[in-house]
């Protein structure tokens, strides 16, 4: 399932929700939404470091992993 989040608190909330709904891990899109209809560049930043850290913290708290799409 896809969910947008803006800021560390929203990322934490979204990650918790995904895990509560049965996700085995947290998957994030760190850069370039290549399938986006907005024609973004491949190296466009999607998540700031503090947002990535928030996702990793939730994964660690729940004994799971984070996977990331990253284009460059």
Give the model confidence (pLDDT) of 7-44 as tens digits. Answer: 999 999 999 999 999 999 999 988 766 555 566 666 66
**Three-state secondary-structure class, residue 10:** helix
- pLDDT score at 57: 98
Residue 15 has which token pair? Answer: 């990650």
| pLDDT of 53 strictly over 80 | yes
Please state, in angstroms and rounded to a whole number, the distance separating the CA atoms of residues 66 and 12. Answer: 13
- pLDDT score at 72: 64
**How many other C-beta atoms are found inside a 10 Å radius of the C-beta of residue 35?**
8
- pLDDT score at 46: 81
Provide the whole-model pTM. Answer: 0.82
Domain ranges of the chain: 8-69
């Amino acid at each position: 399932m896809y969910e947008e989040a803006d800021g560390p608190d929203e990322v934490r909330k979204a990650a918790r929700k995904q895990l509560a709904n049965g996700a085995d891990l947290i998957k994030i899109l760190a850069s370039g939404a290549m399938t986006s209809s907005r024609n973004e560049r491949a190296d466009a930043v999607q998540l700031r470091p503090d947002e990535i850290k928030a996702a990793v913290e939730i994964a660690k708290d729940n004994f799971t992993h984070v996977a990331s799409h990253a284009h460059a």
